[in-house]
Structure formats: structure tokens, C-alpha cells
Amino acid sequence: MRPDLAELDLGELEAALEARGFERFHARQLYRWIQKRGVTDFERMTDLPRSMRERLPSAFVLNTPQVVADHRSLDGTRKLMLELADGRRIEAVFIPDTPSMTFCISTQVGCAMACGFCLTGKMGLVRHLTAGEIVGQVRVLAAATGLLESPFNIVLMGMGEPLHNYEHTMKALRMLHAEQGLAVSPRRVTLSTVGIVPGLERLAREPLMPNLAVSLHATTDEQRSAVVPPNRKYPLAAILDACRRFPLRKRSRITFEYVLLEGVNDTPEDARRLAKLLSGIKSKVNLIPLNPSPGIPYRRPSDERVDRFVQILADRHLTVMVRKSRGRDIRAACGQLIVEGGTKKSAAQQMALLMGG
């Protein structure tokens, strides 16, 4: 089988070229063409010798997600449906003026977490994305939006749980950070997780560490287990303990995401419990009033209930913001990403995957 160039970091690319009779030093040029400039046509890689360009197609493949749909919201948000080499499809979102340009990237086809307010969870887990497929989404979005030469932010908040696909997610971040590629600073990357504790502990030891966002969504274990099933294995106390021990850069904080569900987790008592849970953690709270969708059995709280929740947290000296939903008219907002027709694993298979870490 021919190796896929999109899957190789710089060191792997050097070794792969050498093993097939090419000079190692060409790896930096090749990596730059693919990962920085988004070029997939070997003939356009004009600083490589012609003889090398002619031989590369027989030695390697170069897969890039293909855009099969590009939906544009009235607010400027764009949702791209991307087809992978095996025909599976995922969604990624471009959110302009946030205040920076932001790409919302997927790490799995579907998701095994089955959060009750999220459409992606209804797909189940189809499969993990590879590092090359994760990076490929960024290349495609950057090219589609004209941002290959401009700074942008990345949030790993699309389809999937990043820490459930740990190895490929972290390799993708290293590839994105490479100087010969897009050189994305980890300060511009935010990884969102429901709180897979072993993954949090591994992430705490990474030399290249993104910003951390933890999806909390409840203030008691009973309440959280009902809406976020992984809480049965990784309860609130374990997640918050890992967060208290998590190493943070100077002036950095952990973002705690909290989807507000009317009559479920939006009461004044919930707000007071949330403030108590976060005591002693360098944190900020990102409140997300539910983005309703067909098939989701919850309702969006009124603005009055949201404002009351915010005020209680602010009175207890927490930094709190309410996330403005973007792209709701094209089903691109938080919790609304779903691709129909995936073959999901059974509930037993998904739980086995989760319990295996």
C-alpha cells in the first residue's frame, strides 16, 4: 500500500522519502506544499525536481477531504460537509469575526458520548478520524476562506470527543503547529471534552498543550449522568480534581461549558452549586442556551432565566459569558452537527469503547 502523505508528520515524511529512494531534504519542501499551501497536485510543486514529481504518484497517495456541500448562514457562518477517502462524511464550521476567525473541527465520524442535547451523539460512533483527516479539515477551511496566509483559531468542538481519539488528535495538533506547515500556536487552539479523566491526565503532560474547555452541563452526578452518560464512569468529583491539578499557563484559565436546559439545569440552585464546584479553579464559564433541534427532548430557557443564572455566577465573582449561537439557520450551531446515513456501532460496542478509554 502506498503511504498517504497527508498522514505523515515531518519526521515520518523524511523517513518515507528515504525508504523509497528520494532525498530526505525534500521532505520540508513537500510538507510545506501540502500542509502550508494546501497544494495536492504534484505538478504544481515547482521547487521539487521534475523527476521526483513524476515518481511521487506511484510511491504515495495524497488524500484531502472533499467539499460536497457548503451552507452559508445569514450571519456569515459557513458549514462545510466533507467527504473522506472512504466515503464517510463529516461537518466542519467556519465562524467569522469571533473576534478572530475560527474553525470548528471534528475529530470523529459521529460520537460515542451520547449527550442528550447533541445531535451528533444520535449518530453513534462510526469511526475515529485520522490525524491527516483532522488536519485536512483545517487546510480545506483555510483554503475555502482565503486564510491560508492569515491567523485563525481552531476549536475542537465539532463532531466527536477529542480525548476519545487521543493519539490522532494530538498528532494532528503537532502537525498543525509545525513551522513548515500552518504554524498554528497552541494558544490559538481550544480542545473541548466531556471530561475523559485519563485523557485529561495525559493532556496535562503534553509539551504542546491547547487551551482546555470542559463540558460540564450539570451540577450533580445524578443530573449529569442523565444528560452526559460518560459521567457514570467519570463523575464530577474526578473531573474537577483533574482540572484542579491541570497545569495552566500564566493568565490562562479552564473554560467550563454549560448548556442551559429549561427546567433541568438552569435553576438558581444550579447556579449556586456551579459556583461552589468551581471554587479554587482558575476558570471562566461559557453558558450556552440550548440550540433546539428536532429529536432533542429539551427546551431553550427564556432570556430571563439565562440572565438570572448569569447574575448569580457574576455575584460570586466568576467570569461568565453567554455564547451567541452562530449558524442556527443552517444547523451549524453547538450540538447541531449531524450527518445522516452513518453506520453506527451498537450501544454495547460504544460503551465498550468508552470504558476502554
Question: Which residues does the annotation mark as catalytic?
Answer: 91, 334
Q: Is 288 helix (H, G, I), strand (E, B) or coil?
A: strand
For the chain, the first-to-last Cα distance in angstroms comes to 30
Q: Is 339 helix (H, G, I), strand (E, B) or coil?
A: coil
Distance CA 16, CA 212 (A): 34
Q: Is 89 helix (H, G, I), strand (E, B) or coil?
A: strand
Give the other-Cβ count within 10 Å of 295's Cβ.
8
Buried b (16+ CB within 10 A) or exposed e, 217-255: bbbbeebbbebbbbbeebbbeebbebbeebebeeeeebb
Q: Residue 259 gets which letter from DSSP? A: E
Distance CA 326, CA 68 (A): 21
Residue 323 C-alpha cell reads as 455564547
| CA dihedral of 67, 72, 75, 79, whole degrees rounded to 10 | -30
CA angle 329, 255, 307 (to 5 degrees): 60
Distance CA 347, CA 357 (A): 16
Q: Is 316 helix (H, G, I), strand (E, B) or coil?
A: coil
Helix ranges (H only) for the chain are 10-19, 26-31, 50-59, 119-123, 131-144, 166-177, 197-203, 221-227, 236-245, 268-277, 303-315, 347-355
